[in-house]
Amino acid sequence: MTQTDVVIVGGGHNGLVCAWYLARRGLKVVVLEKRHVVGGAAVTEEFHPGFRNSTASYTVSLLSPRVIADMGLARHGLRVVERRASNFLPLNDREYLLTGEGRTHDEVAKFSHKDADRLDAYADRLEAIAEVLRDLVLKAPPNMSEGGLLAAMPELIKAGGVGRRMGRLDTTGRRDLLDLFTKSAGNWLDGWFESDPIKACYGFDSIVGNYASPYAAGSAYVLLHHVFGEVNGKKGAWGHAIGGMGAITQAMAKACAEADVTVRLDSGVREVLTEGGRATGVLTEAGERINARTVVANVHPRLLYERLMDPEALPADFNERIGRYASGSGTFRMNVALSELPRFSCLPEAGDHLTAGIIMAPSLKYMDEAWMDARRHGWSQKPIIEMLIPSTLDDSLAPAGRHVASLFCQHVEPGLDWDVHRDTVAKLMIETVDGYAPGFKASVLGYEANSPLDLERKFGLIGGDIFHGKLSLDQLFSARPVLGHGSYRGPVKGLYMCGAGTHPGGGVTGAPGHNAAREILKDLGR
């Protein structure tokens, strides 16, 4: 039996962030990771002899600058480089859209001068809302509290602070905020632009990890969720961590080691233990009991409450609500080893476009039809694919002259028997890319395919949900994961949550880990 101050279930990036903030305040922290490598879904692994890539998460933008600075991640080896172009959309054999600093206006003007002239206004309006979100990301949301006015006062004060931040917006900003939290991305973008390529470019973010049409109510918020990041101080930019996403979590692990955090690999948790209405520790899969004053879960909320805890230890109404917590993503994630760079019919030469996010989905209509097709048949025959080729920015991932590609594919039905259908869909994804870049299929040396089921098995992502639960209005802010527990505190004393199933949601942000640690320290009087 082991005794510690804090035990954290799950060694993903948020668990490491939370551990570091707690340890630096003098707490003895043990992190338990079931896999052989630390990092959760933010890891770099060999998937084909000589070829390494980010297995699940695949690009950098949302990671909090404060977390990077506080943990000294650059000092521990993290280096992030910006893409040389933002997004590349091959549309057909002749036409394409290539966005990025200094080029987006002229590119969009190829399709609509009106749209090109609206780009700056669109960016300014979206940035005004994104700035509000950045201000809220590293703060615990107001929590619904029971009891009288005195008990509720701290949360009322916190809610007032949120209101003041919202109040800084002018009337236009407030209307935009309402639209972005409630409307579909399609309706939002249709109100701004007339040409399909720019709407597809911006609208893709609304269906990333979101098994829905871009015309589904609430998808505008998913779009917004992807724009409040930055790379090396440049807001809204996307980049690549040299060495892959695992370089982020390896740097975090070094920071944790420096802070005397104990990280144990191959240490899955069988049960979160409770006694007298309080979390008291965990039981590992190996049968070891670890007692702790505080238990922190960096796992999907449904994994925690439905598989790791005795339902009798939880309030009945909480069990009912968590059972309704929606989770399931239409994501099919592939890593591909290539003998050569792809040559797109519309832009066959090598160039900056191969460092961009390459989006194979030419219109919002295409995305809508892909989702409907997947709902009918299990997967879309014309899938949505974003391809990154990180080896164009990082020669550590592949042998000289070779390359690796990340295929982030939407939409597939999460509930299928993926052991039966995995290879069929993987081949479809490769053939789809080949349709835009003839010869791509012949250049494939090998691949790894991760269906929603594989993402659940490997990383505990229920239904393959990369966000640990849908980013719908009823599962955001104070209601994430359950109203009354939006402040990172579980329904039993001594139990906390620090994963993407809490505010502000998914992505490699570090924000849930940072925020949970602050609330834990507050409760412990540190």
At residue 473, the pLDDT reads 85
Please check the confidence at residue 512 and state whether its pLDDT lies above 80.
Answer: yes
Judge whether 86 lies within some domain: no
Q: Average pLDDT of the chain?
A: 94
Question: What predicted TM-score, i.e. pTM, was given to this entire model?
Answer: 0.94
- Cβ-Cβ contacts under 8 Å for 526 (sequence gap 6 or more): 25, 26, 27
Query: What is the CB-side half-sphere exposure of residue 248 using CA atoms within 13 A?
Result: 36
Contact 341, 354 (CB under 8 A): yes
Judge whether 69 lies within some domain: yes
CB count within 10 Å of CB 424 equals 10
Please check the confidence at residue 144 and state whether its pLDDT lies above 90.
Answer: no
The domain containing residue 262 runs over which residues?
A: 2-43+62-81+242-325+468-523
Judge whether 498 lies within some domain: yes
CB count within 10 Å of CB 456 equals 21
Contact 252, 67 (CB under 8 A): no
Please check the confidence at residue 150 and state whether its pLDDT lies above 80.
Answer: no
At residue 148, the pLDDT reads 45
DSSP state of 142: P
CA dihedral 488→489→494→495, nearest 10 degrees, is -70
Residues 246-265: tens digit of each pLDDT: 999 999 999 999 999 999 99
CA dihedral 513→519→524→526, nearest 10 degrees, is 80
Judge whether 338 lies within some domain: no
Residue 234 or 245, more confident: 245
At residue 160, the pLDDT reads 47
Judge whether 510 lies within some domain: yes
Q: Looking only at Cα atoms, what is the longest distance across the chain?
A: 69
Residues 86-139: tens digit of each pLDDT: 999 999 999 999 999 999 999 999 999 999 999 999 999 999 988 888 888 898
DSSP state of 176: H
Q: Please work out, in degrees rounded to the nearest 5, the angle formed at the alpha carbon of residue 223 by the alpha carbons of 65 and 207.
A: 120
At residue 493, the pLDDT reads 97
Token output for 151: 């008990």
* Over residues 189-210, mean pLDDT: 96
* Over residues 323-336, mean pLDDT: 95
Residues 419-464: tens digit of each pLDDT: 999 999 999 999 999 999 999 999 999 999 999 999 999 999 999 9
> What gap in Å lies between CA 477 and CA 259, rounded to an integer?
30
Contact 84, 356 (CB under 8 A): yes
Residues 19-49: tens digit of each pLDDT: 999 999 999 999 999 999 999 999 999 999 9
What's phi and psi for 115, nearest 5 deg? -65, -40
Token output for 89: 């959309």
Judge whether 349 lies within some domain: no
pLDDT-based confidence at residue 158 (cuts at 50, 70, 90): low
Judge whether 172 lies within some domain: no
> What gap in Å lies between CA 35 and CA 19, rounded to an integer?
18
| CATH (domain of 474) | 3.50.50.60
Contact 460, 303 (CB under 8 A): yes
Judge whether 462 lies within some domain: no
**Total number of domains constituting the chain:** 1
Residue 98 or 231, more confident: 98
